[in-house]
A and B are shown apart, each in its own frame.
Chain A
Amino acid sequence: MKFRSSIKQPISLTKPRTMSEPTVHHNQHRDDLGSKLGMWLFIFTELLLFGGLFIVYAVYRYKNSQAFHLAAQELDVTIGTINTVILLISSMTIAMSTTAIQKKDKRTTLLLIGTTLFLAVVFLVNKYFEWSGKIGHGLFPGSLVLEDLGQGDVLFFGLYFFMTGLHALHIIVGMVLLGFGFVRVWKDRLTFDNFQLLENGGLYWHLVDIIWIFLFPLFYLIT
């Protein structure tokens, strides 16, 4: 009696309304659509962030077209192309992982997330060698070589290091997110009817891919 008197509302309201409701998930408070919407809203802020940087690039290119033309020739098209191919394949493998998990194929899901993570590491290793090469040639923000080359080159390589660096940071964040996904699939906490975290991780990974799709022609191809 004491227990009942401490509760304001009648007990019957806290119970399930009907007994015919499915009982499997009735105590879980999940909102997959809300979760996906949240991820998309975050992705939009990321697009605006990089969009702003692309505008900065476009304006400086417009004002220093000759210097940007010469500076862009310093970048290695081959390594840029290889990294593009790596990211495109990794985007496919992570997209496939949501198919695999919906088909209740845990082994393939883990294999696909693992492949994506492996490709991400290969991308970063390539990036490391690429950056080391540039820095070895004295091409880095604040270097004397760059100062001698003039304002256009300072702007080009400043933007190159900042934008590809920020992109690489996103690769690392994406790896952490997908790493969580991998562990949770492994431990059966993400399953065929509960995989929004994996899909959100995938969405983030595709965002990273889309940003690179634009970085690649702007820095490596258009000279």
Chain B
Amino acid sequence: MSDTEHHIVSYRTYGLILLLLLTLTATSVAVTQIQLTRWSMAVALLLAATKSTFVLAIFMHLRYDQRMFRVMALLIFLLLGVVMFVTFLDYAFR
């Protein structure tokens, strides 16, 4: 039963998410074009992370799917984060 059960996401939800994603894109373009150097880089990456979270949660249905998918996705991003962190530890302090 639960295998084939699907949550039907409304067109409106998808439309609103697109508007949000476009707004975040416009913000990241504005922030980086004004030249704030050190902060603009962090803000642009933070906005990119926010955008992909919305894509993962709504467009890719992670919010509506079984918890297993959310846990696995989280672990993969955690793994990537750890590998990035360790790589930079190596390069920054060698």
Contacts and interface: CB of A to CB of B under 8 A. Distances in A.
A213 B8 contact: no
Interface string A178-210: 000000000000000100000100110010011
Contacts, number: 112
Given A32-B4, A213-B51, A222-B41, A206 B60 contact: yes
B40 A222 contact: yes
A111 B29 CA distance: 31
A210 B52 CA distance: 6
Interface residues of A, number: 44
Contacts of A202: 59-60
A44 B72 contact: yes
A217 B32 contact: yes
A91 B25 contact: no
Interface in A81-106: 81, 84-85, 88-89, 91-92, 95-96, 98-99, 102-103
Interface stretch (A47-55, A121-129, A131-139, A145-153): A47-55
Nearest to B86: A55
A214 B33 contact: no
A59 B87 contact: yes
Given A88-B18, A95-B14, A209-B55, A221 B29 contact: yes
Interface of A: 31-33, 36-37, 40, 44, 47-48, 51, 54-55, 58-59, 62-63, 77, 81, 84-85, 88-89, 91-92, 95-96, 98-99, 102-103, 193, 199, 202-203, 206, 209-210, 213-214, 216-217, 221-223
Nearest first, the 4 A-B pairs at minimum CB distance are A221-B32, A217-B44, A92-B18, A51-B80
